[in-house]
């Protein structure tokens, strides 16, 4: 019990059938399917794969879509609670509060069966985007835009957020963002979800642990940090100098480096291509040019000259894409959560299916006070 | 990377100076002080010890009390949010929602400095009991009872809950319940708190992960299960038969067994004495007699005959004590959280002080699909 790996680095905490990462080769699979293949599908198909361990046929996909499209709307009380939110903060905190509120009204809240958990999972996936969109609309002083049952999941989210149907490419990009964000083995938020589920707490509580954990800048908060960095740099011309200054002063460059990958994150490669497409559609190469410049400088200075495996990760180009989708920065982490929620739910259900309480030990490194010494009794009894 | 310990049993996840457990000898220390000694103090003194790593002198204790007693009240909006709660569920879910709401209004929400975290910690400790008391009063259709600045922390909670000042013994008992509940090394909820904090997410989010994790029946939910079991048994005479039936049908007996202890939980011994005292004050030995009978049967059958280390744990007599304090069962887990919150906060701050992202690995045991096979493209692009 004396040695330990800080941050549990490289320690196997559990077995899973949900995803597979080879950090040396840059391979990522969900349920045994390579991420490059899954990137061709719709988010709904990937959700079906993760929750039911099966890619849907046309009939199953239609059934899934019909079941979820009608449960996107929020009840009156949840809308009231969103009105009480603080709009000067990240949407993440609003999402957490509203989901905690919604959990109280869920008829299956404390029913922990596979069937009830699937029902709760579908409700959570369907309603979470509505919370974020309503929050933003209310914040902007605009009328809320009710869910549109004709639109698929991601397209509907952009519609509720902006009040107009997005372009085909925009929808495709958000679909891909959700697909690439939804699952990544035992990242910190998914691990938190499983720790919560391992006490046999309810699946809403498990997801809420995931949200709180994703928020941190060493995890989902990195996208917001990337967006802020792009804003701060301001133009492609200033990029080299800005990044060189960060490197020289040994600052962490957001969107680069990963605990598991020793090569480029396979998700980042897919994102880069898409960032270029949307830049071309918008006829605005600014963010894309800045991004490729940052990547070039970091690769040259840190990877090639210093030999460090600091490659771009999934957060880097997703931050760039959010700039093109005109996502308000304070929504960035919450939108990551809207994608990741499906992975969390799949992991919570897998934890329940073969549970053992996750309860490690700590090594005590403080002092032991003498047992003879009387503790000074300060209060009168 | 191929072997692993399910539930991370016996695996050291991190180093701590907060608490020490010797599970073989039944020793528990907070900051190097034995639990038996700490049981003589007030909850405020133990809070000071955990947060500041120092037992307070009279002046420090007064300062601490003066600082916290004035911040117990909730703002108007939080009270409104509590009115929107569902009162048919556990108070735990109400506590989670209200704390998430409160976090949004905290002026230090995203300030992660030791000073800001102490300020947030004191607010959370001071306000959490008010949430639970208001929730229960509103549920009962009664006027809320505002915090009383003349009363110490635990005594004030009982006062807000019932509308009258508790007896000296009742206050002492709740103080002790909070002291014994507040900290226990890397139990699942505290571990979840540290996983959340390790992404550098905010301390409110970390505490909310703790709440969701504590709720499960394999953790804090055990107290509620003990209370429900006592109610179901109904009388001391029926106890032997009821427990024998559970043992014969191999059911888990709530309040017995612990991942770490191989002897009686040292906290349970302290609780047992106190349960007797309150039973005598209330002139009602029923719950105490049932409890000692359950302990006797379990010890005889499982420990002595079967040689299993299934001793009573902290949840057992605390469930008994809650019966005497006439705590509504659905408040049981939330009250555990009101005690445990200080330990969570101390751990979150320790995590921030020397952080490394907690991100273990999973072992993939699913299949790998062929890369040649085309994924059937189901949706039209």
Q: What is the 3-state secondary structure (H, E, C) of chain B?
A: CCCCCHHHCCCEEEEECCEEEECCCCEEEECCEEHHHHCCCCHHHHHHHHHHCCCCCHHHHHHHHHHHHCCCCCCHHHHHHHHCCCCCCCHHHHHHHHHHHHHHHCCCCCCCCHHHHHHHHHHHHHHHHHHHHHHHHHHCCCCCCCCCCCCCHHHHHHHHHHCCCCCHHHHHHHHHHHHHHCCCCCCHHHHHHHHHHCCCCCHHHHHHHHHHHHCCCCCCHHHHHHHHHHHHHCCHHHHHHHHHHHHHCCCCCCCECCCCCCCCCHHHHHHHHHHHHHHHHCCCCHHHHHHHHHHHHHHHHHHHHCCCCCCECHHHHHHHHHHHCCCCHHHHHHHHHHHHHHHHHHHHHHHHHCCCCCCCEEEECCCCCCCCCCCCCCCCC
Residues B349, B203 contacting (CB under 8 angstroms): yes
Residues B191, B350 contacting (CB under 8 angstroms): no
> Are B357 and A7 in contact (CB < 8 Å)?
yes
Q: What is the DSSP string of A20-72?
A: EEETTTTEEEETTEEHHHHTTS-HHHHHHHHHHSS---HHHHHHHHHHHHTT-
> Are A20 and B211 in contact (CB < 8 Å)?
no
A186: pLDDT strictly greater than 90: yes
Q: What's the rounded Cα separation, in Å, for the pair A308 and A301?
A: 9
Partners of A363 on chain B (C-beta within 8 Å) are 12, 14-16
- Which residue from B94, B198, B362 is facing A186, i.e. has the nearest CB? B362
Interface test with B, best of A103, A154, A201, A367 (most B CBs within 10 A): A201
pLDDT tens column, B219-234: 998 899 999 999 999 9
Confidence band for A375, pLDDT divided at 50, 70 and 90 = low
> Residue A95, class by beta-carbon neighbours within 10 Å (0-12 exposed, 13-18 middle, 19+ buried)?
buried
At residue A1, the pLDDT reads 46
Residues A95, A332 contacting (CB under 8 angstroms): no
Q: What is the largest CA-CA distance in chain B?
A: 77
At residue A166, the pLDDT reads 96
Interface test with A, best of B212, B257, B330, B353 (most A CBs within 10 A): B212
At residue B54, the pLDDT reads 96
> Are A379 and B61 in contact (CB < 8 Å)?
yes
> Are B8 and A360 in contact (CB < 8 Å)?
yes
Rounded to the nearest 10 degrees, the angle between the axes of helix A314-324 and helix A221-233 is: 60
Ranges of chain B with pLDDT below 70: 1-2, 371-381
Q: What's the rounded Cα separation, in Å, for the pair A82 and B363?
A: 40
Residues A121, A347 contacting (CB under 8 angstroms): no
Q: What's the rounded Cα separation, in Å, for the pair B259 and B268?
A: 15
Please identify which of the residues B258, B284, B289, B354 carries the catalytic annotation.
B258
Q: Judge whether A369 counts as a catalytic residue.
A: no
CB atoms within 10 A of CB B241: 11
> Are B97 and A94 in contact (CB < 8 Å)?
no
Interface test with B, best of A11, A45, A368 (most B CBs within 10 A): A11
Strands (E), chain B: 12-16, 19-22, 27-30, 33-34, 361-364
Residues B191, A13 contacting (CB under 8 angstroms): no
At residue A263, the pLDDT reads 87
> Are B208 and A206 in contact (CB < 8 Å)?
no
Please identify which of the residues A315, A354, A368, A372 carries the catalytic annotation.
A315
Bridge partner residues of B361 (DSSP): A12
CATH 1.10.230.10 segments of chain B: 222-324
Backbone φ and ψ of A301, nearest 5° = -80, -45
Q: Judge whether A33 counts as a catalytic residue.
A: no
> Are B209 and A187 in contact (CB < 8 Å)?
no
Mapped onto helix, strand or coil, the DSSP state of residue B22 is strand
- The second-level CATH assignment, the architecture, of A222-324 is Orthogonal Bundle (1.10)
Backbone φ and ψ of A311, nearest 5° = -95, 165
Residues B264, B163 contacting (CB under 8 angstroms): no
- Distance from the A195 Cα atom to the nearest Cα atom in chain B, whole angstroms: 6
Q: Which residues contact B313 (CB under 8 A, 6 or more apart)?
A: B222, B255, B256, B257, B258, B261, B265, B267, B268
- Which residue from A10, A44, A196 is facing B192, i.e. has the nearest CB? A196
Partners of A365 on chain B (C-beta within 8 Å) are 15-17
At residue A180, the pLDDT reads 95
Confidence band for A379, pLDDT divided at 50, 70 and 90 = very low
CATH 1.10.580.10 segments of chain A: 13-217+334-353
pTM for this prediction: 0.95
Partners of B111 on chain A (C-beta within 8 Å) are none
Task: Write the DSSP symbol of residue A30.
Answer: E
CB atoms within 10 A of CB B381: 7
- Distance from the A330 Cα atom to the nearest Cα atom in chain B, whole angstroms: 13
- A13-217+334-353 homologous superfamily: Citrate Synthase, domain 1 (1.10.580.10)
CA distances from A172 to A162, A230, A270, A317 (A): 16, 23, 13, 15
> Residue B156, class by beta-carbon neighbours within 10 Å (0-12 exposed, 13-18 middle, 19+ buried)?
buried
> Are A94 and B104 in contact (CB < 8 Å)?
yes
Identify the closest residue of chain A to B42 by CA–CA distance: A379
> Which H/E stretch holds residue A93?
helix A91-105
Q: Taking the mean position of all CA atoms in its chain, how far away is CA B245?
A: 29
Residue with more model confidence, A313 or A340: A340
What mean pLDDT is predicted for residues A44-61?
A: 97
Task: Write the DSSP symbol of residue B312.
Answer: B
Please identify which of the residues A139, A258, A265, A347 carries the catalytic annotation.
A258
What mean pLDDT is predicted for residues A52-72?
A: 97
Closest CA to B46 of B159, B161, B181: B181
pLDDT tens column, A73-131: 999 999 999 998 888 888 999 999 999 999 999 999 999 999 999 999 999 999 999 99
Partners of A19 on chain B (C-beta within 8 Å) are 362, 364
Q: What's the rounded Cα separation, in Å, for the pair B88 and B90?
A: 7
Closest CA to A362 of B193, B99, B157, B146: B193
Closest CA to B89 of A366, A88, A106: A106
- Distance from the A153 Cα atom to the nearest Cα atom in chain B, whole angstroms: 13
Q: Write the Ramachandran bin of B307: left for phi over 0, alpha for psi from -120 to 50, otherwise beta.
A: left
């Amino acid at each position: 019990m004396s040695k330990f790996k800080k941050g549990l680095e490289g320690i196997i905490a559990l077995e899973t059938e949900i995803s597979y990462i080879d950090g040396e080769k840059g391979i990522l699979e969900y349920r045994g399917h390579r991420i490059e293949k899954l990137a061709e599908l719709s988010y709904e198909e990937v959700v079906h794969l993760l929750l039911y361990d099966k890619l849907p046929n046309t009939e199953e996909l239609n059934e899934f879509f019909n079941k979820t499209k009608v449960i996107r709307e929020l009840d009156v009380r949840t809308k009231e609670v969103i009105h009480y939110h603080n709009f000067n903060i990240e949407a993440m905190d609003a999402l957490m509060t509203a989901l905690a509120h919604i959990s109280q009204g869920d008829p299956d809240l404390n029913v922990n069966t596979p069937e009830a958990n699937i029902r709760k999972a579908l409700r959570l996936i369907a309603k979470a985007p509505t919370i974020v969109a309503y929050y933003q609309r209310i914040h902007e002083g605009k009328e809320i835009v009710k869910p549109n049952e004709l639109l698929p999941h991601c397209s509907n989210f952009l519609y509720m957020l902006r009040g107009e149907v997005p372009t085909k490419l925009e929808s495709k990009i958000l679909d891909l963002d959700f697909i690439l964000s939804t699952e990544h083995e035992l990242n910190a938020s998914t691990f938190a979800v499983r720790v919560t589920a391992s006490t046999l707490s309810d699946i809403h509580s498990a997801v809420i642990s995931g949200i709180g954990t994703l928020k941190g800048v060493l995890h989902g908060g990195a996208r917001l940090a990337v967006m802020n960095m792009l804003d701060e740099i301001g133009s492609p011309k200033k990029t080299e100098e800005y990044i060189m200054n960060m490197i020289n002063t040994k600052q962490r460059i957001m969107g680069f480096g990963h605990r598991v990958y020793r090569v480029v994150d396979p998700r980042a490669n897919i994102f880069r291509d898409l960032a270029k497409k949307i830049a071309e559609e918008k006829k605005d190469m600014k963010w894309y040019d800045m991004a490729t410049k940052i990547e070039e400088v970091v690769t040259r200075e840190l990877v090639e000259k210093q030999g460090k495996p600091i490659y771009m990760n999934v957060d880097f180009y997703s931050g760039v894409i959010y700039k093109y989708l005109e996502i308000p920065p304070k929504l960035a982490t919450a939108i990551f959560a809207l994608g990741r929620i499906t992975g969390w739910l799949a992991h919570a259900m897998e934890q329940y299916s073969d549970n053992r309480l996750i309860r490690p030990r700590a090594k005590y490194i403080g002092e032991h006070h003498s047992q003879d010494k009387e503790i000074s009794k300060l209060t009168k009894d």
